[in-house]
Amino acid sequence: MSARVALLRFPGVNCETETARALESAGARVDWIRHGAELDPDLFDGFVLPGGFSYEDRVRAGAVASRSPWMRALVDAEDRGKPVLGICNGAQVLVEAGLVPGTPGHPVRLALAPNRGAGEGGFLCRWTWVEVLPSACTWLAPLYGARWPVPVAHGEGRFTTRDPRLLAGIEAGPLRALRYVAPDGGPAEGTAFDPNGSVGCAAAACSEGGNVLALMPHPERAAWLRQVPEGTAGEWGERRRAAGQAGALEAPGPGQALFDAFVAAAAEVGR
């Protein structure tokens, strides 16, 4: 049986189509849940919050959407071990709602602050590299150690906190699920491959329960080989340059593996 995944459409999101396509390519049945509709957590095996600018990023990115009644369904999903993925603005919503790091009562202990990467600030849109780390996010286990190119497009992507224990968990502990790296796997700190100055170069943080992931890069924009820039370094650049026909360019790109892992975890829940 294929996993049934809810794709939540807050007003202002703009990445739902390509996100749905990547989920469907991974074998999911995707239901688009529109603003104002009821969200029944019993009907779905997984939940995805796509990127964009929900409610025009009023107050702070993700702040208004984090007050949606849908959050009650996501808390229920977290408690039941169902996978939840927030991409870029979706990650900001999960952090603002307290679902990441996700503690009893879900107080907000983590923030996504304005970018400070590589001496730059403000909105940043470009390709960088990430590495998947062993973490509390068990549904990412098939990808541990993988390194791949991926686009970022955000102005508030810097994971930060005043909680010393949580800071340790993000900097080098179980809550840092992905980190920005150089193409050769070296440190990204202080280089153009660090887009926001996040603690520990964190590109994603997960909940303490391990099933909720707040991911700032956009894997849906790297789900097909044709989306990878021809000048990309390493294996993925070689694959892109070697693809001589249009059909070959429709092969999976580096970001598709993340959706495959998510859908596989959702399908396991649904069994």
Which residues are known catalytic residues?
88, 218, 220
d(CA 46, CA 6) in angstroms, rounded, equals: 6
Do the beta carbons of residue 51 and residue 22 sit within 8 Å?
no
DSSP annotation of 176 reads E
Tokens of 4: 């049934």
- Token pair of 37 as six digits: 């509709």
| DSSP three-state, residue 63 | coil
Q: Residue 96 in contact with residue 108, Cβ under 8 Å? A: yes
Strand bridging mode 212-215 / 202-206: antiparallel
Q: Which helix (H) or strand (E) holds 199?
A: none
